[in-house]
Amino acid sequence: MLKLCSCNVTDQVQASVQCRFPGSPGPFAFRRRAPVSVSFSPTSRLGLTPVQAVVSTQKTEVAKVVKSGSGSLADRLRLGSLAEDGLSYKEKYIVRCYEVGINKTATIETLANLLQEVGSNHAQSVGFSTDGFATTPTMRKLHLIWVTARMHIEIYKYPAWSDVVEIETWCQSEGRIGTRRDWILKDAATGELIGRATGKWVMMNHDTRRLQKVSDEVREELLVHFPQEPRLAFPEKDNRSLKKILKLEDPAEYSRLALTPRRADLDMNHHVNYVTYIGWVLESMPQEIIDSHELASITLDYRRECLQNDVVDSLTSTEPTDGAETVSELNGTNGSAVARQDDADCPMFLHLLRVSCDGQEINRGRTEWRKKPAR
């Protein structure tokens, strides 16, 4: 991993924290941006290290903006840009100390938030709305919003504090009422694949809270930014992202009851942000698994909105193994870096989030775990 020494990045951290544009809850959050091009070559004529090159470039960009009085300072400081064909977006992120958990690596919530952030920045870069609700002009006119329907994340190697992660993302159609976003996560220093993710968003009427089909007008606004041919982060047949999540039946083996949303958990559409559900799911995991294993993959199906006044129960049970589907061997450049071992080393669990008072399903989940690596 590319490491950042704290003595060299004070200005960079301050600028990034002060200027980062808030993320969007959906797959789009559009504003046109000027891409930043940064060289990480250690053989620069000035003899700069990769970290010094980042800091030097950012200071130069700040000076240009101040001098010209035009453009967005946040846009200039982001280490991201569209691909040449305009159909995908890449951005580099530094793992901050407050984003690291008990394993001394970035938490799954941190990585999920980065996925949300890079998706939002991608959407801004193609020039749609600036209101943060990820909507096209037609969607705003009709009071339509995007809501998360499903997320699947696989992490093969967790980055540590000061590591630099490069994330690539792109969007495409997914059925008649939704869109799909995919992500590839790499070590920015080595190019090593460290994770993949995919998610589905569906269209909802903000006023009626009912799902709505993607109209031809909205589809035309989006298609220009979609690949002409399907491009999947998980191209393998029968991959984990496609696996159906069985309903967890009572009584659950483990539970954490009466969880309540904080104000900070609400997104710009006034419902609980999808990353919060990940934390709630993990709250009911048995402690012995948390102590000895790390999360390898998580899949969440979002079945209803969770609002600020809801009280939530988190339930977890071991996934039944009888008749379980097998995952085919993963090949190709996007292939998993983790081979399946025996069930003792890679336990799997089913999860359910429900409303405490009436038992309504909020979310179904499935997780796979692996033994923690020696550090």
Amino acid, res. 194 = I
> pLDDT digits over 79-126, tens only?
888 888 889 999 999 999 999 999 999 999 999 999 999 988 888 888
Cα distance between the two ends of the chain: 14
Q: From the candidates 171, 293, 306, 363, which is the catalytic residue?
A: 306
CB atoms within 10 A of CB 39: 12
Query: Is the CA virtual torsion 107, 109, 110, 111 positive or negative?
Result: positive
Q: From the candidates 122, 152, 225, 271, which is the catalytic residue?
A: 271
> pLDDT digits over 6-39, tens only?
444 444 434 343 333 334 444 433 334 444 444 4
Q: From the candidates 113, 239, 269, 363, which is the catalytic residue?
A: 269
pTM reported for the whole predicted model: 0.76
Active site residue 271: yes
Active site residue 306: yes
Distance of CA 356 to the CA centre of its chain: 28
> pLDDT digits over 164-192, tens only?
999 999 999 887 778 999 999 999 999 99
pLDDT tops 50 at residue 334:
no
| C-alpha distance from residue 18 to each of 11, 148, 165 (Å) | 11, 28, 20
Which residue, among 190, 183, 195, has the nearest Cα to 163 in the 3D structure? 190
